[in-house]
Amino acid sequence: MTTRNDPTPAPVSVPPASIAQVTGGPAVQLPTAFGYFTARAWTDSATGVEHLSITSPVRPDTAPLVRLHSECLTGDVFASFRCDCGEQLDQALALIAEQGGTVLYLRGQEGRGIGLANKIRAYALQEDGADTVEANEQLGLPVDARDYSAAASILHAMGLDNIRLLSNNPAKSSTLSGYGIGVVEMISSEVPSREQNLRYLQTKRDRMDHRLALLEDHPVHQS
């Protein structure tokens, strides 16, 4: 894990009225293999999409660690090696349990927001030679259709106005800043690459500006 102290990217200007409105349900205990958490469901009032916060108590002398984790059925549930999502989720839960903070599990963001069926269609195009960006473009879909308005609204509702962001994606930081969430530090969420996801990660680094130093520093894992 790498800590980055470089400046937060410039915030994106977002009109206050554009932030999502969310309602939260009751907080319940969630015992897991990674530790004991408090879980709470949140509903986006406009879309009806339900999200989940998974929280561990924060130390008083540090900003909470926060991971915005986009739903990925293939990676999170079936441990697919085509992406790094499942391993990133495991890493995030372990770090949140240790350091305190929140994993926001954001539903409706499968395949960077294109949905499960389209993600599988994109996989088929990747098997014919396209990279993950080209596959979306060939389908006539956005490269990244995710929206973090609901995530920002949930963070505000939880009182998490200044955070340490567990992410390799500077765009998440700048977008949250535009919604009034202060990102005081970015913490790497990179996990070692595998033979099956190396090109995917290289594309995220080279074409989507993700910070992935391990691609150069570590050998590819074999399955």
Q: Which residues line the annotated binding site?
A: 67-72, 83, 85, 88, 110-112, 132, 167, 172
Going by the annotation, the residues of the binding site for GTP are 67-71, 88, 110-112, 132, 167, 172
Angle at Cα 152 formed by Cα 49 and Cα 104, nearest 5°? 60
Q: Which of 121, 146, 164, 194 is catalytic?
A: 146
Q: How many helices (H) and strands (E) does the chain have?
A: 8, 9
In a 3-state reduction of DSSP, which class is residue 163? strand
Name every residue whose Cβ is closer than 8 Å to that of residue 143 and which is 6 or more positions away in sequence. 112, 133, 136, 137, 208
Q: Residue 48 phi/psi, 5° resolution?
A: 80, 0
Rounded CA gap, 177 and 33, in Å?
33
- Residue 93: name the closest of 67, 112, 62 by CA: 67
Question: Which residue is it, tokens 């595998």?
Answer: 194
4 catalytic residue (yes or no): no
Q: Residue 184 phi/psi, 5° resolution?
A: -80, -15
194 catalytic residue (yes or no): no
Q: Extract the tokens encoding 35.
A: 């530790």
Q: Which of 82, 144, 199, 205 is catalytic?
A: 144
Active site residues: 144, 146
